[in-house]
Amino acid sequence: MISEKTLNVLNKQIALEGNASAAYLAMASWCERQALKGCATFFYDQSAEERMHMMKIIHYINEMDGCAIIPEQAKPRGEYDSIQELFQIVYKQEKSVTAAIYNLLSISQEENDHSTTLFLQWYVAEQREEESQVRSILDMIKLIGSGGQSLFFIDQEVEKINQERLKEEASGEEYNQVL
């Protein structure tokens, strides 16, 4: 059984993950309208991944005899001034999710909820990976710059990340890294 305090924070995390999924979906749509196919694919995949994160928490709460609350989603921002701005927002969002996971972990430890503490370890590893990936993309954007052809090269580099992710998923690497 989950403590009331842990349950409340887990339900807040469901909302955070759902809002992140919606935000990434809106970002994907914006990228698609800008003819940034690689970036659009990246964000469509990120949206699906955040939804999966949300679903894992819902299933966990239900498995632990709690009551998962499915919140209303906030309307995500749909317009951006540049791809640079968009990825800066993504990095800030990922850092916010990481802070929320760390808070959840602290609460589960305070509550001596060993099961939730163990469950959250996957999220800690996942967030480390997410932040690192976005930081790498931001570094790459800085290197490429903001000249006339930069969007083409940025999109090509993000597409390489998409292809690498597909290879990892196909080989099961992502799963093994968590173990």
Domains of the chain: 4-178 (1.20.1260.10)
Read off the tokens for 6.
Answer: 């842990």
Whose structure tokens read 């060993």? 114
pLDDT at 177 over 60: no
Confidence check: pLDDT of 108 > 90: yes
Q: Is the pTM of this model over 0.75?
A: yes
pLDDT digits (tens, 9 = 90+) for 112-124: 999 999 999 999 9
